[in-house]
Structure 1
Amino acid sequence: MPTPHVLGIDLSLTSTGLAGPGWTATIKPGATLRGTARMSHVRTVLLDRYLNGLDLVALEGPSYGNQGTGRQAGHHERAGLWWVVRCMLDARGHPVAVVPPATLKRYATGKGNASKADVVLAVGRRFPWFDGGEDEADALVLAAMAADHLGHPLTPMPAAHRAALDAVQWPAVAEVAR
C-alpha cells in the first residue's frame, strides 16, 4: 500500500509553514510585499512547488482567539490569505481538512492550550530530523495528522494525542490513499 502524499499548511502573511513526510519548508514573501501582492506570492509558490498529486491537505483553521492588541490590524488580511488558499485548493480538487489550532496542539502535545514553544519541543522529540521553527512545526503536525488519518502515521503517537483526530471533519479521499 503506497504512502499517501499529504501536505500540512500553516498559513501566515510572513512565514507560511509547509510539511510532508520527511520535510518542511516555508514561504516568506519578504518585507516589500503587502496586501494582495503578498497573498499572490504565497498562492503562486504553493501552485508552482507543492500542489501536485496530493491525497490530502491539512490546513490550519483560523485562530479566532488570536485577535489581541497589535494583531487586529492584520486580521482582515490574514483572513483574506486563508480564503485565497482555501478556494484555490477547492478549485484544484484537493481534499482539505481544516484543523482548528487547539486540535493541532492537542495532537502534538496532548494539550489543546499548549504554547507554540511546547509544539516545537514535541515535534523535535517525535521527529529527530526536524530543525525548523514554529511555522514548520505546526505544518509538520498537520501533515502527521493527515497521514495518521489515512492509516499511515509518520511517527507513533499516544492514544490521547490521536484522539484529536476525531475533532477534525475529514473529507472523503480516494481509496488508493487508504
Structure 2
Amino acid sequence: MTDEQRKFTVVGLDLSLTGSGIAYRDGSTGTVKTKQKDGDGRLAQIEEAVQLAIGGGGLGSGVDLVVMEDIPQNSHAAKPIAMVHGVVRNLLVKAGIPYALVVLATLKFYATGKGSGDKVPMALAAYKRAGLEFDDDNQCDAAWLRWAGLDWLGCPEFSVPAAQREALKKAVWPAVTR
C-alpha cells in the first residue's frame, strides 16, 4: 500500500479523571474508569491506557493524529481534567504524535448541528450516521472526536452537512503528514 492509498489513522480522547473515553485507531471504543481511592495513581492508569491506544507512539506507531476534547472553561471539572491533559499531552509530545483540541460546543455542533444540549443528541447522531451505540457518553464523545479528525484530514467515515463540517474550522489543528 502506498502512502497515497493509506487512510489517516486517528485516535479520539474524551479525557476525564473518573472516566476517559477512547476511540481507538480501528474505530472501537473503550472507557478507562478510575477510582478516587487510587489518588494520583489514576493519572498513571490513564497514561497507560493512552499509551496502549497510540501503540507506543513515534514513527511506526501508525497514529497520525490524536483529537481531544479541550479543557472546559469555567467548570468545576477544569482542574482535574487539566491534570489529565498534562499527562496525556506530555506523552503525545514524547511520542511525536500531533494532537488537536476541540471545544465541546464545536464537537456537538459537528455531530448534531446544535452546539448545546445534553448527550442524547450526540448518541442519536452517532446511531444515525454510523449505526453505532456506545456503553457510555465518554465513548460516544471519543468516537465523535475521532470522526472529526478523520473528516478534517479528508477521510470522513460518513457524510455530515456542510455547515456542520464547517464548524471544525474553529478547532486548533496541527499540521499532519503521512
Letter in 1 for 2:87: V
2:83 maps to 80
Paired with 1:151 and 1:54, the residues of 2 have a C-alpha distance of 16
Residue 50 of structure 1 aligns to a residue in which SS?
helix
Residue 96 of structure 2 aligns to a residue in which SS?
coil
Identity %, equivalent residues: 35
Trace 1:3-152 onto structure 2 (pairs within 5 A): 3-19=7-23, 20-34=25-39, 36-47=40-51, 49-52=52-55, 53-65=62-74, 67=75, 72=76, 75-152=78-155
Paired with 2:106 and 2:31, the residues of 1 have a C-alpha distance of 22
Letter in 2 for 1:11: L
Residue 32 of structure 1 aligns to a residue in which SS?
helix
Paired with 1:26 and 1:4, the residues of 2 have a C-alpha distance of 23
- Contact 1:6 1:56 survives alignment (8 Å): yes
The one-character-per-residue Cα deviations of 1:20-44 (angstroms, maximum 9, x if unpaired) are: 453111111235322x211111001
Higher RCO (CA 8 Å, separation ≥ 6 residues): 1
Unaligned runs of 5+ in 2: 56-61
Letter in 1 for 2:170: A
Paired with 1:97 and 1:58, the residues of 2 have a C-alpha distance of 5
Letter in 2 for 1:127: A
Paired with 1:25 and 1:171, the residues of 2 have a C-alpha distance of 25
- Once the two structures are TM-superposed, the CA of residue 51 in structure 1 deviates from its matched residue by 1.1
Letter in 2 for 1:168: A
- Once the two structures are TM-superposed, the CA of residue 135 in structure 1 deviates from its matched residue by 0.4
Residue 37 of structure 2 aligns to a residue in which SS?
coil
Letter in 2 for 1:59: M
Q: CA 1:44–1:21 in structure 2 vs 1: closer, same or farther (change >3 Å)?
A: closer
The one-character-per-residue Cα deviations of 1:122-161 (angstroms, maximum 9, x if unpaired) are: 1121121333321011001100011011111011111111
TM-score (norm 1): 0.87
2:58 maps to none
- Size of the aligned set, in residue pairs, is 167
Paired with 2:114 and 2:78, the residues of 1 have a C-alpha distance of 25
2:163 maps to 160
